[in-house]
Structure 1
Amino acid sequence: MWVEVLGWIIVIVLFAVGMAGTIYPILPGAVAIYAAFFVYGFMISFSPFGWVFWTLQTLIVALLFIADHAVNAWGVKRFGGSKASIVGSTIGLIIGPFVIPAFGLIIGPFAGAVLGELYARSSLEQSLKVGFGSLVGLFTSVVAKIVLQLLMIVLFIIWLLV
């Protein structure tokens, strides 16, 4: 009995860490949620989950990884950004939350994209436009991650109830 309770506690913590990872990129979002399924399986039971469950969940995780990087790049490109601004935005997304804990997630990608575009010899106006595009990509990515990760959790619950 205590193993099941511990299993559920770990599953819930992993779900919470996964959802927090949608906003704080250093946390292992989808991976934490995916790991929760294995924790449930090892500590409680794998019997509710067949190949359809694992295939759907694996496809969602793959889609999340692709979307996470592609949507940010899309936002920068959509607003006329260069490869340098995409790289700058990505670096800012990773470093920003550490340098400026409260606002680094927003300032980091914006500043990285602007600096990258300035490095590519664009005007300040164009660089600011690309920086805005990085924020559009970031927020679009966050919304997509929230929806897909919630879908992972809902599918888990459905599989348990069916």
Structure 2
Amino acid sequence: MLDSTHPITQHVFRASGLMDRVMSRGQKMSVSPSAVRAELLAECLSLFAEMRELARARFGKRAAFILVAVDEYEAAICALSGLGGGRITEDRRDGEGACPACGAPIAKRRPLPDCKGFEEHWIILCRECDKPFMEAHGKLASSEGFGTWAI
């Protein structure tokens, strides 16, 4: 568990927010047409820059590991954006059908099934296309990375 009084805690929470913003865009990207993928990639690039800045400014010796993991995360998101050579026209953000890039089934689940106010909230993604960036996400969450696993 994260110590709320430790000076690094606010930076771990900031990192978590940045990572989650990229993850949600990556998930959306995996079921979107190429034009939307390009827009989401542009949003992610600035988030990666913020992660790098945060790592250098606040994470000392762990910054080297974090920077490599951010590079991996960025490369995986860029690859996801470029799947289909920019010619994907199918939109699967409704959670129906198969992935427009790899043909795998689309995953659709409620993240908070028993919480009032979230009945219509869904996470929709292609688990196959998301694997590469989720691996990098896991490295950033680790104790060698930003340590967001402790939240």
Tell me the TM-score normalised to structure 1 length. Answer: 0.45
Report the structure number with the largest CA radius of gyration: 1
Higher helix share: 1
Structure 2 length-normalised TM: 0.47
